[in-house]
Amino acid sequence: MSPSSPLVVQLCRSAQDDFDLSKLLRRRDIQVSVCLHADACFDLVRQGRVSAVILDLEHPSATGLALRIHLEEAGARPIVGLIAPEYPEFIKNWSKSFWIPSPIRASAAIERIELFIDLGLAEAKIEGLLLQVDEEQQKTEAAVRNAERISKNVEKEILSRTRQFAANIQTKGHKPSNGFNPDHPILNASLLNQTLNVLPLMVYFKDSTSRFVYLNHQLASFLRKDQDEVLGRLATSLPEPLAGLFDKESDDKALETPGGIHGERRIHLDGKIKTLLFGKQAFTVEGIEKPYLLGYGLDLSDQKVMEEKFSQTQKLEALGTMAGGIAHDFNNLLFAMLLNLSLIQRSTAEERREHYIGQMRQACERAKEMTGQILTFSKQQEHQITSVDLTEIIDEVHSLSRSVTPKNIRFERSYRCLNPNCLADPSQLHQVLMNLVNNASYALGASGGHITLSLADIEVDAQDHISLDLKPGNYLKVGVQDDGPGIPSEILPRIFDPFFSTKPSDEGTGLGLAVAMGIVQRSKGCITVVSNKDSGTRFDIYLPQTEKPLARGDQRPLPLYAGKLVGFEKCLVVVEDEILVLRPLCDFLEDEGFKVVPFENPSLALEYCKDHLETISLVLTDQNMPEMSGLALCRQLSECRSDLPLILYSGYSSQLTLELAIEAGAKLLLSKPLRQEELLDAIKQLMV
């Protein structure tokens, strides 16, 4: 019954009145309210919703009540039906009243009541219509709003009644079936079934005992089963690895987790790796105590294959661009060297020759820088990925950048995280940040501006992980932001391409951001960039947050190598496995007046040194050698003679830090290629 159905109030002498209208009228969509007291009855009337009042004149207050109602304001006045053995004369002139003869003949009485209610309603309608004619124009809008509200109410009512209906079925002992139950409250709409079968998505419902209540065609065909074979069963009836996707344990977890659980799963199926987007969460139906589980799955395998192919193509393209770029830049540098060589040949004045040699050296330095960057870019070997305190690195970058950038560029730092530890290679990360800061200060140019270095922690959830290309989890976000002119939108997509640069070729190689991207991706992170004219450019680096520092990895084993003894009996020992370096290095040192004993093989060097501990004044050793690293050599030598001056130098080993070198007994750590002045200074300093 809707709230709009007519309300009839009956005044009875007792709760068990002879004539119980309520039973008769309720069947006809008429509400009946029974009152034993006239006052209660009158109160209802005054509320204005009563269509008819039925009074038994044998009730002591009936006549009085009838009069009171008759004297009420016309608009709110209900029809009054009087039960009496004879026609009550006093209602003769009353417009809204009628007589129900007693003893009552139920059917006739009901007919009369309904007739008069209809009459009353019609009358009320006419009155209402007359009023409406005047007010209609002003009320149109209000009426529309009202209609909407009413329709919502009706909807609500329908919903609540449907639920109530479902609850009734439940309480009447209608147990949920283990199989497919077409009358199930969540499934009774065939529309739902149709919709779910049209979606390109696997969908299922389970009850709280983890049994399938529903699954759509897509899921059934993924499982290679008929729907009926699965319905009402636990996932344990499925073969592995499918069973694992629908296991009770994770169902229970999903039921307990607010918002459910969502994420990517990889399974081996029929010899292929399938990537699936999976999720499940609880939902409740009003009137049913236990929650149900809604699950979905999406097969991303094809998409992943496409992505991989695409990224391969991109890699090849990048390689092409890179090879072209390297060729171009190296050709330029080689040309510069050739030109200067030619000039050296032609020139007689010593001063000019020095100048040309200087130019050649510059070209070499540039080439060296490039190879360094290319190495970093292409290095596929292990990296020193450790737990790094990002605030330390940002502080270093901050102080270093401040000293090398013009004073009109101002730096700011903001740290907003409790745990600044992440997994990364500290020296490479340093390089990445320096690169971003350099780009920012380049963008700010002569006019200056602000560069903000920020650190914050962020949780990447299932929603973000697609846009950010990160696995869900806790990350640290390092921001480098400038308020410069921004990057033009047409070149923004290309900035991470190797050799793409807006700087003149002698100011940038175009490798910086490509290298940065590679480094960050190898640390399982990502870089994003936002840029526009008004607010400048912001790079964000996401790196996986860690709880505690990890142990350093072991050094990789070196292949065996048989070297030969080159010289003996001198007092400055040089250990270097590359003969092309060893020879000129020794020549140079001998030219400078040192007595040099060169070794290609560190084991032989160690043997020699042990025999001549007192006559050696210094050992200069390369780090990266077969059989024994420079570090190990230093360690053994310093054990034999702790005050032996040891200089260690290294090409690109990022594993080697000054701390490690000093710990092994080395006094100094130099990097290759060695600069002659630097080397001489170091030797002289240690031999004093």
Partner 1 sequence: MKSILVMEDEALVRQGLVELLETAGFNAQAVADGNQGLEIAAKTSFDLAIVDIFMPLKDGIATIMELKKLSPLLKVIAISGGGNIVRDFDYLEYAQALGAVKCFQKPVNPDELLETIAAVI
Q: Which is nearer to partner 1, 200 or 504 (CB)?
A: 504
- Inter-residue contact 301 to 274 (CB < 8 Å): yes
CA dist., res. 542 & res. 477, Å (int) = 5
Which CB atom, from 326 or from 566, has the smaller least distance to partner 1?
Answer: 326
3-state SS class at 647: strand
* Residue with Cβ nearer partner 1 (277 or 513): 513
If the CB atoms of residues 131 and 327 are measured against partner 1, the closer one turns out to be 327
Q: Exposed, middle or buried, 232 (CB in 10 Å: 0-12/13-18/19+)? A: middle
b vs e for 373-398, b when ≥16 Cβ sit within 10 Å of the residue's Cβ? Answer: bbebbebeeebbbbbbebbebbeebb
Minimum CB distance to partner 1, residue 501 (Å)? 9
CB of 323 to partner 1, least distance (A): 7
- In the complex with partner 1, the residue whose CB is nearer, 337 or 541, is 337
Q: Do the strands 473-482 and 449-460 form a parallel or antiparallel pair, or are they unpaired?
A: antiparallel
Nearest approach, Cβ of residue 322 and partner 1 (Å): 9
Q: Find the radius of gyration of the CA atoms of the chain.
A: 45
Q: In what order do the strands lie in the sheet with 449-460?
A: 409-416, 449-460, 473-482, 536-544, 526-532
Q: How far is the CB of 337 from partner 1 (least distance, A)?
A: 8
Closest distance of CB 508 from partner 1, Å: 11
Shortest gap between Cβ of 364 and partner 1 (angstroms)?
10
CA 26 to chain centre: 57
Q: Is 391 strand, coil or helix?
A: helix
Question: With respect to partner 1, which residue has the nearer C-beta, 324 or 473?
Answer: 324
Report the interface residues with partner 1, using CB under 8 A.
Answer: 320-321, 323-343, 346-347, 356, 359, 362-363, 366, 499, 504-506
Q: Which 3-state string (H, E, C) describes 232-288?
A: CCCHHHCCCCHHHHCCHHHHHHHHHCCCCEEEEEEEEECCEEEEEEEEEEEECCCCC
C-beta of 241: minimal distance to partner 1 in Å? 46
Q: Concatenate the DSSP letters of all residues of 580-643 into one string.
A: HHHHHHHHHHHHTT--EEEES-HHHHHHHHHHTTTT--EEEEESS-SSS-HHHHHHHHHHH-TT
What is the distance between the alpha carbons of residues 638 and 647, in angstroms, rounded to a whole number?
A: 12
Q: Report phi then psi at 41, rounded to 5.
A: -65, -45
Instruction: Compare residues 108 and 341 and give the one whose CB is closer to partner 1.
Output: 341
Structure tokens, 315: 């890699």
User: Coil, strand, or helix at residue 202?
Assistant: strand
Closer residue to partner 1 in complex, CB, 170/332:
332
| 3-class SS of residue 437 | helix
The minimum distance between CB 494 and partner 1, in angstroms, equals 12
| Minimum CB distance to partner 1, residue 490 (Å) | 16
Q: Is 595 exposed, middle or buried (0-12, 13-18, 19+ CB in 10 A)?
A: middle
**Please, what is the minimum distance in Å from the beta carbon of residue 379 to partner 1?**
22
Separation of alpha carbons 531 and 521, rounded Å: 21
Nearer to partner 1, 330 or 588 (CB): 330
Q: Minimum CB separation from partner 1 for residue 340, in Å? A: 6
Structure token pair of residue 217: 């065609």
Strand partners, 298: 277
The order of strands in the sheet holding 618-622 is 596-599, 572-575, 618-622, 646-650, 668-671
Q: Which two tokens stand for residue 141?
A: 């809008």
Q: Which is nearer to partner 1, 126 or 338 (CB)?
A: 338
Residue 463 C-alpha from the chain's centroid: 5
Looking at the Cβ atoms of 425 and 497, the one nearer to partner 1 is: 497
| Closest of 437, 460, 435 to residue 542, by C-alpha | 460
Work out how close the CB of 334 gets to partner 1 at its nearest, in angstroms, rounded to a whole number.
4
Q: Which is nearer to partner 1, 150 or 334 (CB)?
A: 334
Q: How far is the CB of 356 from partner 1 (least distance, A)?
A: 8
Given the complex with partner 1, which of 263 and 324 has the nearer CB atom? Answer: 324
